């Protein structure tokens, strides 16, 4: 979505950029009154120290820490702070900001595991309120753990975080018509505006509107971001759009859940020890080999994975210190791919990698992808057709064979979905097992999807995810992609599925929109979520929700 006047009318933090879609960075306009913050790590145990890296061009500002959830609560604050005005490198997105530590917080022993929002706040000389957010996670120490841990999608957040100039998708180069992504993403920088906190009701990537005949695609989340000065990628990843909806629902229903990050799974193979269930919610597109190892070992040993997410697609690598994430997309561009081809930062289905996502979660990212995004199946029902209503996940839902689950006005099967290759026998879908699908996989419900948007407008209309890009990428990978990917053209599917692995079990909702639909109160999706969590070892006060014990 290009616009040569992209910076006109935008807040000062955006006005620096010559690009068609600017990324936020510090002090882009001379004399701008701003304050910025990031933490040295994403997660901590009680007793460990959070180090806040600060940069400000205001004489005084406040910092507030809130444990977010159903009832957000201020747990720590400092007023009247000051910090030096430190510039960020032109490639801060890749190398980080390098700002000094301006404040420290030793986490009290009695702080609960949770997602903690850090807000820096100041009143500018013109009288406007300036606020920006960061976050950190408090982990539960051994002996104080709940039955389940929510794994926050820090890998996907880094991939989409365009603060400082670029992300894994775009930002390099000055021509808005040829916008290349950065293969490096740093943790040592602020986070794109809107990923941590934004107003209720902000548009999502999933489009609930009805496209008229010959109608052009609309992307409400982009339009809203341009109007109000948020990152283009505010709705693509992380807490405010995805995990928070699940957490608020879970807390309202009395579930006790601890918090981890994908980075914890990468650096600590025992991060899930002591839990009966690991939960993923929202958009978990990016995983490292070691993150997957931790999940696989957990499930093999009897743990359970409840995935209420979608779009499991890319392998990433992390630097030894965790400060940098790498994703080159193509093995030919990855400097380490020749020596360790299985760690190439490309799609999991690549033959050189040899580890389809389905072996861990039951479904593949390339089996989808889009539904009700721009002109990707723009007039679909937006729901899943139920095929196995007697599965344990559907107990008590009163769903019948052929029912539509999560259709209008909820749109459960929307934005990005996962699937495997499948066939029908006597009215039921079965995996073909050509793409890593587990032998025990059961396909519970289905929806159509496509891998890209068809351009019927002769290039006159911006397309969010054009199929041309997918064809070009597939051609670049060539024989490294399995034949079924090339043969399938743009057609795909979305699925809800379940399977057993080792001594454990996996439920896969297969859509990025699951947590959002929970927040809207779809009774069928709520009941399925209760069924999954209870089977996987969680308990909550269900009687007032009308859910049988």
d(CA 345, CA 336): 9
- 285 and 167 Cβ atoms separated by less than 8 Å: no
Size of the chain in residues:
549
| Residue that is written with structure tokens 């539904």 in the block | 371
Q: What is the mean pLDDT of residues 44-67?
A: 97
Mean residue pLDDT of the chain comes to 93
d(CA 393, CA 121): 45
**pLDDT tens, residue by residue, 213-225:** 999 999 999 999 9
Per DSSP, the three-state class of 455 is coil
**pTM, whole model, 2 decimals?**
0.94
Q: What is the mean pLDDT of residues 409-430?
A: 97
In this prediction, residue 484 carries a pLDDT of 87
- 51 and 66 Cβ atoms separated by less than 8 Å: no
Strands 101-106 and 148-152: unpaired
Q: Helix H segments across 301-353?
A: none
Half-sphere exposure of 240 (CA within 13 A, CB side): 24
Reported confidence tier of residue 175, pLDDT bands at 50, 70, 90: low
Q: b vs e for 498-524, b when ≥16 Cβ sit within 10 Å of the residue's Cβ? A: bbebeebbbbbbbbbbbbbbbebebeb
- 229 and 11 Cβ atoms separated by less than 8 Å: yes
In this prediction, residue 486 carries a pLDDT of 86
Kindly list the structural domains of the chain, giving each domain's residue range(s) and its CATH number in brackets, ordered by start. Answer: 12-144+162-171+181-207+224-228 (2.60.40.10), 237-539 (3.40.50)
Closest CA relative to residue 465, chosen from 156, 170, 214 = 170
Q: Which residues contact 508 (CB under 8 A, 6 or more apart)?
A: 307, 361, 362, 363, 418, 495, 496, 497, 498
Distance of alpha carbon 353 from the chain centroid? 22
In this prediction, residue 487 carries a pLDDT of 84
**pLDDT tens, residue by residue, 290-315:** 999 999 999 999 999 999 999 999 99
Whether the predicted pLDDT of 396 surpasses 80: yes
Per DSSP, the three-state class of 520 is helix
Reported confidence tier of residue 411, pLDDT bands at 50, 70, 90: very high
Q: What is the mean pLDDT of residues 472-478?
A: 92
**pLDDT tens, residue by residue, 56-90:** 999 999 999 999 999 999 999 999 999 999 999 99
Q: Report the percent of the chain where pLDDT is more than 90.
A: 87
In this prediction, residue 173 carries a pLDDT of 78
Reported confidence tier of residue 177, pLDDT bands at 50, 70, 90: low
In this prediction, residue 5 carries a pLDDT of 31
Distance of alpha carbon 165 from the chain centroid? 20
Closest CA relative to residue 49, chosen from 96, 105, 10 = 105
Q: What is the mean pLDDT of residues 396-414?
A: 98
Whether the predicted pLDDT of 130 surpasses 50: yes
- 145 and 258 Cβ atoms separated by less than 8 Å: yes
Neighbours of 435 (CB within 10 A): 22
Whether the predicted pLDDT of 9 surpasses 70: no
Q: Helix H segments across 373-466?
A: none
Taking the CA atoms of the chain, what radius of gyration do you get in angstroms?
Answer: 22
Half-sphere exposure of 384 (CA within 13 A, CB side): 32
In this prediction, residue 541 carries a pLDDT of 58
**pLDDT tens, residue by residue, 132-170:** 999 999 999 999 999 999 999 999 999 999 999 999 999
In this prediction, residue 178 carries a pLDDT of 66
Reported confidence tier of residue 542, pLDDT bands at 50, 70, 90: low
Whether the predicted pLDDT of 35 surpasses 50: yes
Closest CA relative to residue 485, chosen from 436, 447, 435 = 435
User: 101: which DSSP letter?
Assistant: E
Ranking 25-29, 42-46, 113-117, 365-369 by mean pLDDT, the lowest is 25-29
Closest CA relative to residue 363, chosen from 447, 303, 470 = 447
- 277 and 180 Cβ atoms separated by less than 8 Å: no
Q: Which residues contact 414 (CB under 8 A, 6 or more apart)?
A: 206, 207, 208, 371, 372, 373, 382, 511, 512, 513
Query: Which residues are registered as beta bridge partners of 137?
Result: 43, 115
**pLDDT tens, residue by residue, 216-257:** 999 999 999 999 999 999 999 999 999 999 999 999 999 999
Whether the predicted pLDDT of 6 surpasses 60: no
């Amino acid at each position: 979505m290009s616009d040569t006047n992209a910076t006109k009318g935008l807040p000062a933090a955006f006005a620096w950029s010559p690009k068609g879609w600017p990324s936020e960075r510090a002090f882009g306009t001379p004399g701008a009154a701003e304050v910025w913050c990031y933490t040295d790590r994403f997660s901590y145990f009680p007793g460990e120290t959070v180090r806040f890296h600060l940069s400000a061009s205001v004489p005084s500002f406040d910092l507030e820490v809130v444990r977010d959830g159903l009832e957000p609560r201020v747990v720590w604050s400092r007023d009247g702070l000051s910090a030096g005005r430190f510039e960020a490198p032109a490639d801060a997105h890749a190398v980080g900001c390098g700002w000094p530590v301006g404040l420290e917080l030793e986490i009290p022993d009695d702080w609960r595991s949770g997602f903690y929002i850090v807000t820096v706040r100041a009143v500018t000389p013109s009288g406007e309120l300036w606020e920006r957010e960061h976050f950190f996670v408090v982990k539960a120490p051994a002996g104080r753990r709940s039955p389940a841990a929510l794994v926050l999608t820090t890998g996907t957040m880094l991939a989409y975080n365009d603060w400082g100039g670029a992300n894994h998708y775009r930002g390099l180069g000055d021509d808005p018509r040829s916008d290349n992504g950065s293969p490096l993403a740093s943790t040592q920088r602020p986070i794109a505006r809107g990923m941590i906190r934004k107003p209720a009701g902000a548009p999502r990537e999933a489009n609930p509107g009805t496209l008229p005949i010959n109608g052009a695609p609309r992307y409400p989340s982009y339009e809203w971001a341009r109007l109000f000065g948020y990152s283009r990628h505010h709705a693509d990843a992380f807490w405010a759009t995805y995990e928070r909806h699940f957490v608020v629902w879970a807390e309202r229903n009395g579930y006790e859940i601890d918090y981890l990050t994908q980075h914890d799974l990468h650096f600590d193979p025992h991060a899930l020890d002591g839990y009966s269930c690991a939960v993923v919610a929202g958009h978990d597109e990016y995983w490292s080999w070691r993150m997957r190892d931790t999940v696989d070992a957990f499930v093999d040993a009897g743990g359970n994975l409840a995935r209420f997410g979608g779009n499991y697609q890319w392998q990433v690598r992390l630097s030894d210190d965790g400060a940098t994430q790498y994703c080159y997309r193509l093995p030919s561009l990855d400097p380490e791919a020749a020596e360790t081809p299985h760690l190439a930062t490309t799609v999991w289905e690549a033959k050189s990698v040899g580890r389809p996502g389905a072996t861990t979660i039951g479904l593949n990212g390339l089996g989808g992808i889009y539904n009700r995004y721009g002109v990707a199946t723009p007039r679909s029902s937006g729901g899943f057709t139920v095929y196995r209503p007697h599965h344990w996940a559907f107990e008590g839902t009163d769903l019948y064979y052929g029912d539509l689950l999560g259709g209008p006005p909820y749109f459960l099967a929307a934005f990005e979905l996962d699937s495997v290759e499948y066939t029908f026998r006597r009215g039921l879908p079965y995996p073909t097992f050509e793409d890593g699908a587990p032998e025990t996989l059961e396909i519970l419900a289905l929806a159509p999807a496509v891998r890209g948007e068809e351009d019927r407008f002769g290039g006159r209309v911006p397309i969010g995810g054009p199929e041309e890009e997918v064809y070009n990428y597939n051609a670049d990978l060539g024989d490294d992609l399995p034949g079924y990917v090339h043969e399938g053209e743009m057609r795909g599917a979305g699925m809800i599925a379940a399977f057993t692995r080792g001594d454990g079990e996996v439920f896969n909702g297969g859509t990025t929109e699951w947590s959002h639909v929970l927040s809207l109160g779809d009774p069928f999706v709520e009941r399925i979520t209760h069924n999954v969590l209870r089977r996987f070892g969680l308990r909550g006060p269900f009687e007032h929700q009308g859910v049988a014990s």
